[in-house]
A and B are shown apart, each in its own frame.
Chain A
Amino acid sequence: MSTDVHLSVAIQVENLTKRFQAGSQTIEVLKQLNLSIGDGEFVALMGASGSGKSTLLHLIAGLTPPDEGTIQIQVDSKSGEKFNPFDSKVSDYDRTLLRRRQLGIVFQAFNLIPTLSVENNILLPLLADGKTATAEVQERLNSLLVQLALNDRRTALPDTLSGGEQQRVAIARALIMGASILLADEPTGNLDSISGQKLCEIIRTLCDQEHRTILLVTHESSVAIHADRTIVLRDGKILTEFDNRAFTDVTQLAMKYQQAMQSLSIGQEAD
Chain B
Amino acid sequence: MKFLWKLAFSQLRYGYTRVIFSSLAIAAATCLIVWMVAGYETMISGFHDDAEVYMGRYDLVVVPFTSGPPRGNTEQINPNVSNVKPGSTKSGAPKEDGQKSPNALENRPSDAKGLHCDPVQKGRGNVSLEGSKTSQREHQWDSFIALSSSLLDALRQDSAIAACEPMMMAKITATAPRDYVEGQDPRSVRIGIPQNSPTLVGIGAAESPYELGEGRWLDTTAPDALECVLGSGTAHRMKLNVGDEIIVTSDVLETRLKIVGLVEQAMDAPVIGPNGGLPTASLFVPIATAEKISGRKFSINLISIELKDGVDESEFRQRWEPVLKSQSPRASFADTDSIVRVMSQNRNVGMQKSQTDWTLGVTLLAAIFIIFTTLSMGVNERVRQLALLRAIALSRKQIAGIVFMEGFFHAIPGWLAGTLTSALLFELVCLCSGTTDKAALSLHWSSVWLSGGCVILGAAIAAIVPAWRASRLDPMSVLQNTQGVHQTTVRKYYGYAFIGAVLIAIHFAIVYIPGIPVVARGLLYATVGCVSMTVGFLLWTPLLILGVEKCLGCLIARLLYIHPRMLDFSLSGNMGRTIGTTASLSIGLGLFVSIQVWGFTMLVPFLPNPQVPNALVAFLPEGIPESEISQVENTPGIKKNEFLPVAVEQTPIAVAQLATPGFESTRRENQNVVLAGFDIVKGMYGKDAIFHLNFIDGNAEEAREKLTRSAGRYCLIPDTIQTQTGLGIGDKLQLVPPKHRDQAIEYEIAGVVYIPGSIWLTKTSGMRRQGGRTLGLVLTNYENVKADFELDAVGFFWMNLEENIQPRVFESQMLKISQQYAVRPNQMVDGTEMAATRPFAKLWYAPEIIESVGNRSSGIIWGMSWLPLIILIITSLGMVNTILASIRMRTWEMGVLRAIGFTRSTLVKQVLAEAILTGLVAILLSFAFGVTAGWCSVITARYMYVYAVTGLTPDLTIPWDSLGIGFGLTMLLCVAAAIIPAIRTGRREIAELLRSGRAITE
Contact = CB atoms under 8 A, between A and B. Distances in A.
Nearest to B1000: A114
Interface string B9-22: 01101100000000
B393 A58 contact: no
Given A110-B384, A125-B393, 15 more contacts: A23-B485, A55-B476, A63-B474, A64-B474, A96-B394, A99-B393, A110-B388, A113-B385, A114-B14, A115-B13, A116-B10, A127-B3, A128-B393, A128-B398, A174-B392
28 contacts: A20-B482, A23-B485, A54-B480, A58-B476, A63-B391, A63-B474, A63-B475, A63-B476, A92-B395, A92-B396, A93-B395, A96-B393, A96-B396, A97-B395, A107-B388, A107-B391, A109-B1002, A110-B387, A113-B385, A116-B10, A124-B393, A125-B393, A128-B3, A128-B389, A128-B393, A128-B394, A130-B1, A130-B3
Contacts of A115: 7, 10-11, 13-14
Contacts of B7: 113, 115-116
Interface string B471-490: 00011100110100100000
Interface in A71-92: 92
Contacts of A20: 482
B476 A64 contact: yes
A127 B6 contact: yes
B6 A120 contact: yes
A35 to B, nearest CB: 18
Tell which of A92, A96, A125 has the most Cβ of chain B within 10 Å.
A96
Contacts of A129: 393
Nearest to B385: A113
A114 B389 CA distance: 12
A125 B392 contact: yes
B15 to A, nearest CB: 9
Contacts of A181: none
Contacts of A105: 391-392
Contacts of A114: 14, 385, 999
Contacts of B3: 127-128, 130
B1 to A, nearest CB: 8
B388 A96 contact: no
Interface in A162-218: 173-174
Interface in B1-46: 1-3, 6-7, 10-11, 13-14
Chain A residues touching B, range = 20 to 34
Contacts of A143: none
Contacts of B476: 55, 58, 63-64
A257 to B, nearest CB: 23
A115 B6 CA distance: 10
A64 B7 CA distance: 25
A93 B10 CA distance: 25
Nearest to A64: B476
Contacts of B2: 127
Interface string B375-386: 000000000110
A111 interface: yes
A113 B389 contact: yes
A145 interface: no
Contacts of B393: 96, 99-100, 124-125, 128-129
A243 B121 CA distance: 113
B10 A99 contact: no
Nearest to B8: A115
A67 interface: no
Contacts of A173: 392
Interface of B: 1-3, 6-7, 10-11, 13-14, 384-385, 387-398, 474-476, 479-480, 482, 485, 999, 1002
A224 interface: no
Specify which of A92, A114, A129, A130 lies most central, judged by the most chain B CB atoms within 10 Å of its CB: A114
A100 B392 CA distance: 6
A61 B391 contact: yes
Contacts of A55: 476
Nearest to B11: A115
A120 to B, nearest CB: 7
A174 B390 CA distance: 14
Nearest to B395: A96
A14 interface: no
A110 B479 contact: yes
Contacts of A93: 395-397
Contacts of A128: 3, 389, 393-395, 398
Nearest to A103: B392
Given A96-B394, A105-B391, A124-B392, A159 B999 contact: yes
Contacts of B389: 113, 124, 128
Given A113-B388, A115-B11, A107 B479 contact: yes
B11, B394, B482, B485 — most chain A CB neighbours (10 Å): B394
Contacts of A113: 7, 10, 385, 388-389
Q: Which 7 A-B pairs have the closest CB atoms?
A: A127-B3, A115-B10, A125-B393, A128-B393, A96-B395, A100-B393, A110-B384
A43 to B, nearest CB: 20
Nearest to A190: B1002
A114 B14 CA distance: 8
Contacts of B480: 54
Nearest to A62: B391
A110 B1002 contact: yes
Contacts of A127: 2-3, 6
A23 B385 CA distance: 27
A105 B393 CA distance: 10
A132 B917 CA distance: 49
B388 A111 contact: yes
Nearest to A104: B392
B119 to A, nearest CB: 72
B6 A99 contact: no
Contacts of A111: 388
A140 B2 CA distance: 21
Nearest to B397: A93
Contacts of A109: 1002
A58 B390 CA distance: 12
A65 to B, nearest CB: 10
Contacts of B396: 92-93, 96
A97 B390 CA distance: 11
Contacts of A23: 485
Nearest to B394: A128
Contacts of B474: 63-64
Nearest to A125: B393
A194 B638 CA distance: 104
A97 B7 CA distance: 19
B759 to A, nearest CB: 64
Contacts of A174: 392
A118 B480 CA distance: 25
B385 A110 contact: yes
Contacts of B482: 20
Contacts of A99: 391-393
B481 to A, nearest CB: 10
B30 to A, nearest CB: 27
A114 B996 CA distance: 13
A112 to B, nearest CB: 8
A105 B474 CA distance: 16
Interface string A41-70: 000000000000011001001011000000
A130 to B, nearest CB: 8
Q: Which of A92, A110, A124, A173 has the most CB of B within 10 A?
A: A110
Q: Chain A CB within 10 Å — which of B14, B391, B392, B482 has the most?
A: B392
Nearest to B3: A127
A144 to B, nearest CB: 15
A82 B395 CA distance: 21
Contacts of B387: 110
Interface in A1-60: 20, 23, 54-55, 58
A107 B11 CA distance: 22
Interface string A137-162: 00000000000000000000001000
Contacts of B6: 120, 127
A183 B472 CA distance: 23
